[in-house]
Amino acid sequence: MTTALTSQLDSAKWSFSTRRVDRTQICDLDTRFAEARAGDLILAQVDQIGQHRRIQLPSGRPSDLFPGDLVVLACGARYAPDQFEGIAEIAPDGADMLAGGGCIGRMTARNERIKPATRLLPKGRLLGQNGVPVNLSQFALPDPARPSEIPVIAVLGTAMNSGKTLATAQLALGLRRAGWKTAAIKATGTGAFGDYNEYSDTGAHYVGDFTDAGMVTTYLEELPRIRNGIDRLLGEAQRRDCEIAVMEVADGLFQRETAQLIADPWFQSRISGLVFACGDAVAAAGGVAELARLGLAPDLLTGMLSCSPMASREAETATGIPVLRKSDLSDPAEANGFALQAGADWSRAA
């Protein structure tokens, strides 16, 4: 690697999604942006500040962005109804910062209520030995030799911001308090440290997301790759002696990858418990009906809905499924009952 490239990479702000990358493997860069594919690492310069004023660093803190800053992000798509839709394409004259966690691509749609994307000027695509593009997939967790067997409680929801991440974190907290070695996993979505940090703060024994499985985003990825990513994450959780996993699936039931995943027999057979987060009683009834159509039945409802006793009663009446507040999920007595019914085994048992 040239001194100039070393200097640029050292001064660049590397994004959270690149946290597994072994930087010593980077030897060069090119400008063949038309050939960039999802997961390739892109060195870019901040051009105009837009929606994302900060970039999330691997250390877990956000860093303010200023025009002229060098950044390293992964090329990827984005699905975020309250922000952007974007695809994994890099134009040489300018690209969009699609996610603060480190996703660069081309914005194709924007929520009316937010600013245009922060604009980036691509400087180069990072290359490894033999001129091969450096891709996040090269640093993914290993494919487990055999599938993990730990019970999985899946957390689904009606949409973004329905309360899935809070539910996942609070349930992980309750399980940890009850003495379980718990994995908190995000199966799908776009790489960002918000959910990861929220899981970590609960003291979960292992925290991982799809970026650990080599994807900056799961949007527009094919189902077998997403399944494989989940396998890798659960394999790692088992390797670290976790006894149970709480796994959030991003976005709403109708989102492309979520819809494919929850309809998948492998996924349905792999989960031992199901939490559904929603915002109101109508959403609860609709979501439960959609899940029933797919052959799934939530064990409990939670989310924004649970903040309202009246909405909770309506939802319980409409669905027959109990509504739990976040304080219930983090209660070790509640969480422990859920773990036992999911078939968890305490490895320290005599």
DSSP 224-274: HHHHHHHHHHHHHHHHTT-SEEEEEEEEETTSHHHHHHHH-HHHHHH-SEE
**What is the amino acid identity at position 308?**
S
> With binding defined as CB under 8 A, does residue 182 bind another protein?
no
* Binding span for another protein by CB under 8 A among 68-76, 146-154, 249-257, 334-342: 334-342
d(CA 346, CA 59): 32
Which residues share a beta bridge with 62?
Answer: 56
Query: Quick one: which of 93, 177, 198, 211 contacts another protein (CB under 8 A)?
Result: 177
Nearer to another protein, 31 or 341 (CB): 341
> With binding defined as CB under 8 A, does residue 333 bind another protein?
yes
- Quick one: which of 166, 105, 138, 144 has its CA closest to 227? 144
According to CB under 8 A, which residues from 35 to 74 bind another protein? none
> With binding defined as CB under 8 A, does residue 343 bind another protein?
no
Nearer to another protein, 248 or 334 (CB): 334
According to CB under 8 A, which residues from 288 to 307 bind another protein? none
d(CA 144, CA 59): 27
> With binding defined as CB under 8 A, does residue 336 bind another protein?
yes
> With binding defined as CB under 8 A, does residue 224 bind another protein?
no
Nearer to another protein, 111 or 341 (CB): 341
Nearer to another protein, 54 or 177 (CB): 177
d(CA 24, CA 211): 19
d(CA 123, CA 134): 15
> With binding defined as CB under 8 A, does residue 346 bind another protein?
yes
Query: Quick one: which of 67, 116, 147, 179 contacts another protein (CB under 8 A)?
Result: 179
Nearer to another protein, 28 or 299 (CB): 299
98 touches 86 (CB < 8 A): yes
3-class secondary structure, 72: strand
Query: Quick one: which of 116, 147, 295, 337 contacts another protein (CB under 8 A)?
Result: 337
Shortest spacing between CB 49 and another protein, in angstroms: 41
The CA angle 77-81-85, to the nearest 5 degrees, is: 25
264 touches 223 (CB < 8 A): yes
Nearer to another protein, 288 or 342 (CB): 342
> With binding defined as CB under 8 A, does residue 338 bind another protein?
yes
56 touches 15 (CB < 8 A): yes
> With binding defined as CB under 8 A, does residue 314 bind another protein?
no
Which residues share a beta bridge with 302?
Answer: 277
Shortest spacing between CB 336 and another protein, in angstroms: 5
Nearer to another protein, 34 or 349 (CB): 349
d(CA 336, CA 286): 29
Query: Quick one: which of 34, 112, 310, 348 contacts another protein (CB under 8 A)?
Result: 348
Segments in 76-149 forming alpha helices (H): none
# binding residues, another protein (CB under 8 A) = 19
d(CA 139, CA 122): 23
> With binding defined as CB under 8 A, does residue 203 bind another protein?
yes
Point out which residues bind another protein (CB under 8 A): 177-179, 203, 322, 328, 332-334, 336-338, 340-341, 345-346, 348-350
